[in-house]
Structure 1
Amino acid sequence: MQLNYNHLRYFWAVARDGNLTRTAARLNVSQSSLSVQIAKLEQRLGHRLFDRTGRQLVLTEAGQIALEHADTIFASGDDLVSTLRDSGQPRKQVRVGAIATLSRNFQLDFIRPLLGRHEFDIVVRSGGLDELLGALVALGLDVVLTNQPLSSALQTKLVSHLIATQDVSLVAPPGLVSGDRSLPRLLRDYPFALPAQGTSARTGFDGLAGRLGIVPQIVAEIDDMAMMRLIAREGAAIALLPPIVVKDELASTKLVEIAKLPGVTEDFYAITVQRRFPNQAVAQLIYPGRFTTSPPTAPTDHSHSLSSKPPK
């Protein structure tokens, strides 16, 4: 016997509300009818989906699994309608995920071409990379922004677009560094706040210090660019950052660029999932106006595309 998707939708509604009475009122059906629909789904699946705690319904382990599948199924349905409907229909939603540690200035630059365009609703969601990629695969997001490259295990499902490679600088408040600003002296004499290991900027910095034979004094390792920005403003250490992260502070001279690091860069990626009908607004963000070539019509492999120029 095949799954009855009406039963699944009723279960999905109750699971999201956590309360049978509230769901019945919202859907304008009786509680008994709602209970019957869920009971039929439980019978079909062979597992109890809810435990009752007082007046609240709490998902069982089987219920959690069913909810995850229901989220994916109904998100796919919404995406189908959104993708294939006529352009004259209501506003098109663009759902962007960004790792929580990513520069807010960079995120703003990415979505800026859509700001003020009334045909688009822009949703920006922050979170961990694994969480966001899961939502992307489930079609709950259209694109994920990150400064971390994909692991080889994920490259069969996802497409990684290198959308910007930015130079990285040493920045600090005015007056923190005096006299000789040569790189060997800076690395020997001053404390540093650095990105966490694994990022392209940190790898480049460690390689540069190693070639100079210097072990720098590292007082902080931070994977959150917003926190790194605050550390730099406090003046406790020289920070290693792409200038875009602190462009407002540099413009107001609250921070100054102490030195550029030759060959040390930070890479920024837009991750998409391979789809027959991709969100065209996202394709416009990744390609036209940012790239010198047009987007491929059906990407089938892990790809890297380099921006003609980095965001401001």
Structure 2
Amino acid sequence: MAMLNYHHLRYFRAVATEGGLTKAARHLNLSQSALSVQLRNLEESLGQPLFERKRKSLVLTEAGRIALEYADTIFRCGEELTGLLQNRSGRSRSCLRVGAAANLSRNFQLAFLRPLIGREEVELVIHSGTLRELLAQLQAHTLDVVLSNTPVRRDAETGWYSHLLDEQPVSLVGHKTRRMKAFNFPEDLRTTPVVLPSLESSIRTAFDVLMEQAGIRPIIAAEVDDMAMLRLMARETKGVTLVPPVVVKDELENGTLVERHQFPQIKETFYAITPNRRYPNLILRELLAKKK
């Protein structure tokens, strides 16, 4: 087995960090051609291409992303060794990069990631954005998993896997009052304002179908595409809010809000979207195993 050349690994790390041969060569005080040769030698040693050229730029392959993680760990261990011998403590840590759709419940995200919180050997990096933005990062190997409330279509090019993590019932919630009467669904929605998720939401679509079947045009107080904002609106509105109870878990537990009506036929789903990779993140594998 060929021995790993740490000079080659250092050069590779510089190219990956600087984003290209030109900047890395300048940083390392090498010629671009010499750096290219060193990088090619490392790829031959590992038996895997570490970069692919896209639109005149170098993009890490999956093997390249794995190599970069190990390179970071190796050089960090070197720094820790120096620090340890100089009476400075340090410990190697593994990283899980999570993308969370902006409209996903923060309470659900916390519940999913809770087994990793507080583990000294694990570093969590969490990004929020649109599903399209996050899937692009997943494809570019800068994220390990995307959390979403909708699955994604799997095709030959992407090979996404949508792991169903949980499904939650959906309810109408509102403030508790002293002389509160039982909520008469759907008739009370003729006069009670309601805060709804935006039209892009699957639970909104199901709710609209029920209203159409009942012949009721509800009084819409607000439409919100962000679960954190939906939670705040539920606390502020004098009417009711259509929301998965997990979103307002704390408010339901302390009595600030109460369930007025539950929809057994409407479910909010939660998915972990992962790519088809030869080298899966071991922390993620452990986390998903807990959900089976």
Please give the TM-score of this superposition, normalised by the length of structure 1. 0.68
Comparing 205-214 with 74-83, which one deviates more in the overlay?
74-83
Question: Aligned-residue CA RMSD in angstroms?
Answer: 3.7
The equivalent residue for 1:78 is 68
Q: Secondary structure at the match of 2:166?
A: strand
Comparing 6-15 with 201-210, which one deviates more in the overlay?
6-15
Which amino acid is the alignment partner of residue 244 of structure 1? V
The equivalent residue for 2:251 is 249
Q: CA deviation at 1:150?
A: 1.0
Structure 1, unaligned runs of 5 or more: 42-62, 84-88, 292-312
- 212, 231, 237: which is aligned to 1:235? 237
How many angstroms apart in 2 are the aligned matches of 1:66 and 1:251? 55
The Cα offsets for residues 70-113 of structure 1, whole Å up to 9 and x where unpaired, read as: 59785343256689xxxxx9322111110122111111101111
How many angstroms apart in 2 are the aligned matches of 1:160 and 1:263? 22
Which amino acid is the alignment partner of residue 255 of structure 1? L
How many angstroms apart in 1 are the aligned matches of 2:72 and 2:260? 49
The equivalent residue for 2:278 is 276
Pairing 1:69–2:59 present: yes
Pairing 1:102–2:97 present: no
How many angstroms apart in 2 are the aligned matches of 1:108 and 1:232? 20
How many angstroms apart in 2 are the aligned matches of 1:247 and 1:137? 33
Distance 1:12 1:114, change over 3 A: closer
Pairing 1:37–2:32 present: yes
The equivalent residue for 1:295 is none
Instruction: Judge conservation of contact 1:142–1:272 (CA < 8 Å) in 2.
Output: yes
Which amino acid is the alignment partner of residue 186 of structure 1? D
How many angstroms apart in 2 are the aligned matches of 1:15 and 1:37? 13
Q: CA deviation at 1:6?
A: 9.3
The Cα offsets for residues 147-197 of structure 1, whole Å up to 9 and x where unpaired, read as: 122145588510001111100111122239943411122321111111122
Q: Secondary structure at the match of 1:215?
A: coil
Distance 1:82 1:6, change over 3 A: closer
Q: How does 1:81-92 map to 2 (within 5 A)?
A: 90-92=92-94
Which amino acid is the alignment partner of residue 228 of structure 1? L
Which amino acid is the alignment partner of residue 192 of structure 2? Y
Please give the TM-score of this superposition, normalised by the length of structure 2. 0.72
Q: Secondary structure at the match of 2:268?
A: strand
How many angstroms apart in 1 are the aligned matches of 2:167 and 2:108? 12
Q: Secondary structure at the match of 2:186?
A: helix
How many angstroms apart in 2 are the aligned matches of 1:99 and 1:148? 10
Which amino acid is the alignment partner of residue 265 of structure 1? K
Instruction: Judge conservation of contact 1:12–1:67 (CA < 8 Å) in 2.
Output: no
The Cα offsets for residues 216-250 of structure 1, whole Å up to 9 and x where unpaired, read as: 12232211000101111112541111111111111
Q: How does 1:17-28 map to 2 (within 5 A)?
A: 27=27
The equivalent residue for 2:213 is 211
Distance 1:168 1:283, change over 3 A: same
The equivalent residue for 1:137 is 139
Distance 1:277 1:72, change over 3 A: closer
Distance 1:94 1:65, change over 3 A: same
Count of aligned pairs between the two proteins: 251
